[in-house]
Amino acid sequence: MTKSVPFMSRPEFLAGSPLVNGQPIAGPGATLPILNPATGETIATLPLLGAREAELAIASNGAALGAWRTRAAAERAGILQSWHALVAQNREDLALPLTAEQGKPLAEARGEIDYAASFIQWFAEEARRVYGEIIPAAADRRSMVLKQPVGIVGAITPWNFPAAMITRKVAPALAAGCTATLKPSELTPLTAFALALEAGVPPGVFNVIAGDAPAIGSVLTGHPDVAKFTFTGSTAVGKYLTAQCASTLKRVSMELGGNAPLIVFDDADIDQAVAGVIASKFRNTGQTCVCANRILVQDGIHDRFAEALAARVAEFRVGNGLEGDTDQGPLITPAAYQKVRDHVDDAVRHGARIITGDQHHDAGELFHQPTVLVGATEAMQLAGEETFGPVAPLFHFKSEAEALALANRTRSGLAAYALTSDMDRFWRVAEALEFGMVGVNTGIVSNETAPFGGIKESGLGREGSRHGIAEFLELKTISLGLSGQVQA
């Protein structure tokens, strides 16, 4: 057992391997080291897979599809319920490697395992609720609408939520009767392999491969047998992958980058506002697509809010999530750390003032002190780009109209937040914000029962909720002619 991970009752979760057709699969010889971002230590070494292995995975999906899609919905639901039970049962042993490969505090990793499990349970229940329709088209005709699985699904998931982003895609796909091949991030594949090991589905129904990202991605987006492609990641990469899917006109779901505003109005409760910013901005060390990237604070409350937020942020415990209680972990890579530094330095050059944080943290190479700065403006890089780190920039505004104009001035449209005690303003602002999800008086917008997704350049489609399974279903219309009348 590597020294960076405490005792685990399921050590195979740390020594996982890619799975194709229910079996571990070896690569051509090259290997992929998995690093703990908190320590730099190599915690696992995996085979570096590529296009050949992706082709094998899709072939096994195809071989398994007929039997899986024709299983009774109740049977698929039962298998998913068993998967949910195993994930819940092994919560701690799944959280430990998640923290080791991703860096988030162990308490957050446990919460992510719970969150991931919630999608499995939800879509297990939804499997039995895929209903069709009968439409009275005319006196002598009826139109029947069937909902059928789209087919083979290709999925690519990111490193920041290496468990939840998987179950949010794979659970509805399997519930609908699809088979799937998943490519997790090369930075965090161990959690994916562990989840696949526990899925309990027939061979070929759910495959997991990692390695050469461009090679695997090209197969998943270009293979004619893949009917649906789903991706979570940056907008730039999402656009590229969508273009690749166009050659075979695949159905696509894209959950892409954000530039979330969080508006604090004068009438907001300061304690509630600070709690909302903490929940939104600093979860996962600021490395989430729905993080508050721009915090807009009305003049009348600005200084008091800034002081209260800075005091709370200064108390954060920063460190290795496997070595005691922590609130903030490392950035995922040196490039991610450098982007945070560049954004802070650029903001200071353009007149921002730091009121807490700003320095490298002595916990390790990739740790950055949680930072709050005031005097942010639209001229700064952090106004137009996701920082993806523990930096909270505060922007002044005077009026509600000004706040909405600032908030909506972005091509991203994933999430937005507002803090107010005025219920009339609640409705005005919630409806005026041009984003797929809006949190009012809360910094959390996601759960398994509500649709998750963005508008504008933040994506296509929705995950979670009853709408999430619809992304993996096709509608088939059957017209039925009625030849006779009721007999007397």
Q: Which residues contact 427 (CB under 8 A, 6 or more apart)?
A: none
Which tokens in the block code for residue 139?
Answer: 């006196």
Which tokens in the block code for residue 389?
Answer: 């780190």
Of the candidates 339, 57, 350, the one whose C-alpha atom is nearest the C-alpha of residue 211 is 57
101: left (phi over 0), alpha (psi -120 to 50) or beta: alpha
CB-CB contact of 429 with 418 (8 Å)? yes
Active site residue 245: no
Active site residue 289: yes
| Strand partners of residue 20 | 23
| Strand partners of residue 34 | 44
Q: Which one from 53, 101, 198, 255 is the annotated catalytic residue? A: 255
Contacts made by residues 224-227, CB under 8 angstroms, sequence distance 24+ = 224/248, 225/58, 225/61, 225/62, 225/151, 225/152, 226/58, 226/151, 226/152, 226/153, 226/154, 226/181, 226/250, 227/150, 227/151, 227/152, 227/153, 227/251
CA 308 and chain centroid, separation: 30
Helix (H) or strand (E) holding 19: strand 19-20
3-state DSSP helix/strand/coil percent for the chain, to nearest 5?
A: 40, 25, 35
β pairing state of 42-47 and 31-35 = antiparallel
Amino acid at position 307, single letter: E
Q: Which one from 289, 457, 463, 471 is the annotated catalytic residue? A: 289
Burial profile 357-379: b = 16 or more Cβ within 10 angstroms, e = fewer: bbeebebbebbbbbbbbbbbeee
DSSP notation for 98-153: HHHHH---HHHHHHHHHHHHHHHHHHHHHGGG---EEEEEETTEEEEEEEEE--EE
Q: Which residues are catalytic?
A: 255, 289
